[in-house]
Chains A and B, each alone.
Chain A
Amino acid sequence: MTTLPLVAPALRTRRRRNRLRVLLYLSPGLVGFAVFLIYPLAMTVWLSFTNSNMFSPAQFVGLRNYRFMLDSDPQLWQAVRNTGWLVVIMVPAQVLFALGVAMVTARLKAGAGLFRTLFYLPALAPPVAATVAFVCLFNPASGPVNHLLGLFGIQGPLWFDSPTWSKPALTLLSLWGSGTVMVIFLAALLDVPAEQYEAAELDGANPWQRFRYVTLPAISPVVLFASVTGVIAALQYFTQAVVAANVANGSIQAAPGYPDGSTMTFPEELYTAGFNQFHAGYACAMAVVLFVVAMACTLVLLRRASGYDPQHTQESPL
């Protein structure tokens, strides 16, 4: 910092004014950031150490909410397992399916526009309407899916009414609605320089090698984007699980996570605690844990991605 005294006073004043001007221009955003992000975040962390019910004054209870989460919540570990299942199975399935569809439609010569539209259309349906329609299609007694399977001599499962099949059924719903990811993949695939494929072909690369050493490195930032956003969305999976449980149960008083708690997700458990059972302090503790887990998953994914060197892999075996 020895250079500072050498700067002329007029220049320093100008710099300070510049900084103030920048801050002034940024202030609406900064105020919004502080009021709607930093303050709620800080409040959530604070309330996670209280017995708040969001009506009466909260009292500090130390780590009691966190201890309850680990020891006594009867549904928590099932909710964690369900959410974990969605992250580990549903997200990769969705990314692979969207990538597969994008690759096929990218190669189509005729009717490409029609197929792209068809695959994108379900993404336009509101999640609640899409879920209701999907559960009705998969109704084991009256739905056309099992009827169709029956024509081929296959006894269809109970889908949303079976604890074994409810999460795979939700995964099918997510595949059906993965049009947005598909469009992003499509844009990335169409951006891969054709010369690279030609060069790889001249070097004798087979289709798998062309995918592995040309396509994948070129679209890896998009794969990373789809994975990170998919994991975060799966950790916050709520609407479809709640609606599917209610519609499948056919009663307005559906047990949470119907059937057998198999669709109870971590955010649903959080919502029930905070909004139905007046345990806002505990819900805040769950929100903090969810935030930390989402952050950790994102960091791990980004870290792994940064260790991946497309240049190196492109040069290696061929």
Chain B
Amino acid sequence: MTLVAAGVLVATACSAGGGTTQANTGANDTTPVTITFWHGFSSPHEIASVDAVLAKFHQKYPYITVKSVPGQTDDKVNQAIRGGTAPDVDASFNANNVGGWCSSGAFEDLTADIAADHVDMSQIPKAVQSYTAFGGKRCTMPWLADTFGLYYNKKLFAAAGITSPPKTMTELAADAKKLTTFNADGSIKTAGFMPYLGAYQMLTEHLVTSWGGSWLKADGTSNVGADPAFAAAMTWQKNLVDWFGEAKLAKFKAGMPDEFSAQNSFETGNLAMMVDGEWRTAFIKNDKSTVDYATAPMPAADTKPQLYGSGYVGGNVIGIPRGAKHPDAAWKLVKFLTTDTDAVTSLADAIGNVPTTLAALDSPSLTLSKDPQFATFLEVFKNPLTSTTPASADGGAYLTNYGLFATKWQTGQIADLQAGLKAVDKQNNAALSLGQ
């Protein structure tokens, strides 16, 4: 079955349409047209928010009608491109696919359109520009972003006598130990911080940012063995894991309820500090959680104090798949959704994500900026040292490979850290060469 299924998918690949590289600047063409727009939002309030912005677009371009299709996935759009039935515009939650889409030509290169319409790309922060393009091709634009920082429980901080959030990773580890309490049987009752990779948003990419780790070299090959940031981050993490006891952490993690539920361990007070995205502020409100919390940038490595205030950023992307029937109108929609300040701020406000242009970030109509807990993330986002995971042609396989290594590392299966990181480099590069 698997073979047949793969074969059918492959067979349909042959009918995918050809790409265009010229600017789609049909500015004067006002012939009525209906375009299809796929996006991943699925909850009723999100769909309503997107539709409200699309209504504004229709007001500005009355001759363009947008048929919005919610709840779409990357797998589906990939299949539609291969089958020649792609929508005119597609938005994705997963920036990891940008490298594959740009290098394979699955999404149109928007560079010519951007130049023809004089779109000011300096309005988009550097890190955001980097995850929405690949190999000199800008095949997607950013459509809202996710920024990561530290959430901490003020009540537990006060009880432990801690007066301010940690600024260095050493302080974070010390605070985590102070804030941790154990049950009579030795199991963890309240974790000061959860250093176990894979627990909620405690992912390597969110951790090594504090050391300024650079995942790939300029030529796209793996850099984790050569960049000392990775060994330093993993050592810090393992020390804290060992302080807790790996088995105890595994048990505590197993008992952590679903991340996106009202029982989230931070929201219930079982986790005193955690790394998370800006969206948590809205979840805490919607879940009616009583947690007394505040937010701060993630602490920086002791050796990299200049990084304090920056953080990890990732986000939604939007582009024109190959085979779009109306690329001119499609580009107008992409440009409107990603650069029109009112469109960007109103959707950011409605969904609770970070807007992706500097004009929208500074717009007085952005009500999110009035929430001090959310404002932390806007500041982190604007920080010039804020970074991201770079796009790669194989959809971020380097992160998957690293995740496997990190799991083995934290459970004590890797004796030689540096040799392990070098082995990850080898795996990443071998995987990358598969597509060449």
Contacts and interface: CB of A to CB of B under 8 A. Distances in A.
B435 interface: yes
B255 A280 contact: no
| Most chain A beta-carbon neighbours within 10 Å: one of B10, B100, B199, B405 | B10
A36 B4 contact: yes
Interface string B1-25: 1111011111101001000000000
Contacts of A87: none
A230 interface: no
A54 B82 contact: yes
B389 to A, nearest CB: 12
B393 A252 contact: no
Contacts of A272: 400
Interface in B410-436: 411, 424, 426-427, 430-431, 434-436
Interface in B186-232: 198-201, 203
B435 A279 contact: yes
Contacts of A54: 9-10, 13, 78, 82
Contacts of A75: 404
Given A161-B254, A260-B408, A278-B393, A55 B13 contact: yes
Interface stretch (A64-72, A119-127, A205-213): A64-72
A9 interface: no
B407 interface: yes
A139 B256 CA distance: 10
Given A53-B100, A260-B407, A260-B411, A253 B203 contact: yes
A290 interface: yes
Given A39-B11, A55-B13, A279-B435, A250 B6 contact: no
B81 interface: yes
Contacts of A73: 427, 431
Contacts of B405: 74
B397 interface: yes
Interface string B72-105: 0001001001100000000000001000100011
Interface in B230-269: 250-251, 253-260
Nearest to A37: B4
Interface residues of B, number: 58
A86 interface: no
A261 B251 contact: no
Contacts of A139: 254-255
A53 B13 CA distance: 9
Contacts of A254: 198
Nearest to B1: A236
B394 interface: yes
Contacts of A270: 2, 6
Given A51-B436, A250-B258, A72 B430 contact: yes
A251 B259 contact: yes
A282 interface: yes
B106 interface: yes
A72 B431 contact: yes
B6 A277 contact: no
Contact of A44 (B3, B393, B395, B408): B3
Nearest to A35: B11
A249 B259 CA distance: 9
B10 A55 contact: no
A56 interface: yes
A281 B200 CA distance: 33
Given A236-B2, A255-B198, A55 B394 contact: no
Contacts of A179: none
Given A259-B250, A291-B3, 7 more contacts: A36-B4, A53-B104, A55-B16, A139-B254, A248-B254, A250-B257, A272-B400
Interface of B: 1-4, 6-11, 13, 16, 75, 78, 81-82, 96, 100, 104-106, 198-201, 203, 250-251, 253-260, 322, 393-397, 400-401, 403-405, 407-408, 411, 424, 426-427, 430-431, 434-436
26 contacts: A40-B8, A43-B11, A44-B7, A47-B10, A53-B104, A54-B9, A54-B78, A55-B82, A55-B105, A65-B434, A74-B401, A141-B254, A158-B254, A162-B254, A236-B2, A248-B254, A250-B258, A251-B201, A253-B203, A254-B198, A275-B78, A277-B400, A278-B104, A279-B397, A283-B6, A287-B3
